[in-house]
Amino acid sequence: MSRVLVTGANSGIGRATAIELAEAGYEVWAAMRNPDKATKLMEGAADAADQIRPIALDVDQDESVQTAIATIVREGGPIDALINNAGIAMNAVVEDVDIAHGKAVFETNFWGLIRCTQAVLPAMRERRSGHIVNVSSVAGRIAALGQVVYSASKWAVEAMSESLAQEMAGFGVRVSIIEPGVTRTAILPKNMGHPEPTAYAGHYRRMLHFYAKGMVANTSAESVAHVVRGALENPLPQLRYPCAWAGPEICERRAKLSDQEWVALGACESDNEYYEEFERLFGISIRPD
C-alpha cells in the first residue's frame, strides 16, 4: 500500500483524486484548510472512506505544512507520493491586475507547491524513492487570454517541475506534471467574473467563451483523477500528462505555432475572426452555440 498526500482535497480534482486513489487501495491523507469541509469527500468515497484521513493543511503557511507533514509521518509513516493540487484562479489582463490579489495567487499556486515539496523531499531523497505530482494546467503551456497571473503561476509550476525532475533524477524520486484543460469543477463558476470597468471587455468575453465551451464539453474531475493515478502507476517515467477538454490539443499545437502566429491571434478585430483563427490554429471550436 502506498501512502499519498493530496492537497486541496475538499473539492474538484483534489477530491476526485483522493477518492480514486482510496478506491484503488492507497492510504490517502486528504489535505485542506478546514477538515470540517470533508463531508462530500467522505460521502463520495463510500466503502473506501476508511482509506482516507482528512488533515488540516494550509499551503500558504509554513507552520501548517510542517505540522501536517509531521503528523502524517508520526501517525501513518513515510509519504510515498505528494499530489500538489491546491490552487486558485484569477482573471485579469496585465493592465487590470490587482497586484495584492496576484501575489495571493502565486502564494498558493507556486509557493504553496514549493512549501509542500520541500517538506517531503528530504525523506524521499534519503529513501531514494518517492513521487511528486504537480497539477498544472493547459494555462501553464499557453499564455491564457485574460488570465495573465493565473497563467504565469502555472508557467512557474512547469518550470519548477522541469527543474525538480532533473534535480531528483539521480535520487530515485519521480516528478510528473498533470496539465488539464477545462474541467468541470467548482473553480469555474467561482471564477467567471473579471475587473470592471475595463478597456478589455472583448478579451474577457473571448476567454469566457473558451471556458463556457469547455463546460459544455462536461469533462469531469474524475477523468483527471484517473490520469493522476495513471501517472503514479506508470512503469515508464513520463514528465507531462495533458488531459481533459482541449488540453492535449492546445499543448501539442502551441509548440508548433510561430511567435508571429501567436501575436496575430490577438489582433483579430471581431469575435468571429478570433474564433475562426483559434480553430485553425488549435483545431478546437470555441464559437458560442
Structure confidence at residue 191 (pLDDT): 59
The H-assigned helical ranges of 218-267 are: 221-233, 247-254, 259-266
Q: Which CATH class is domain 3-187+220-254?
A: alpha beta
Percent of the chain beyond pLDDT 90?
93
Annotate 272-284 with b (16+ C-beta within 10 A) or e (fewer).
eebbebbeebbeb
Active-site residue, 241 included: no
State the pTM of this model: 0.95
Structure confidence at residue 1 (pLDDT): 58
- For residue 199, give the DSSP letter: S
Structure confidence at residue 184 (pLDDT): 85
Q: What is the mean pLDDT of residues 30-42?
A: 97
Q: 289 falls in which pLDDT band (50, 70, 90)? A: confident
Cα first-last separation, the chain: 47
Q: What is the mean pLDDT of residues 247-273?
A: 96
CB 91 within 8 A of CB 146: yes
pLDDT score of 121 more than 70 = yes
Percent of the chain beyond pLDDT 70?
97
Residue with cell 490552487: 87
pLDDT score of 211 more than 70 = yes
On average, the pLDDT of the chain sits at 95
CB atoms inside a 10 Å sphere around CB 74: 8
pLDDT score of 273 more than 80 = yes
Q: 220 falls in which pLDDT band (50, 70, 90)? A: very high
Phi, psi (deg, nearest 5) at residue 145:
-60, 130
Q: pLDDT tens digit string along 149-205?
A: 999 999 999 999 999 999 999 999 999 999 999 998 765 555 567 888 899 999 999
Cα 149–Cα 153–Cα 159 angle in degrees, nearest 5: 140
Q: What is the mean pLDDT of residues 25-54?
A: 97
* Residue ranges of domains in the chain: 3-187+220-254
Q: Which of 26, 150, 204, 241 is catalytic?
A: 150
Angstrom distance (rounded) from CA 24 to CA 30: 15
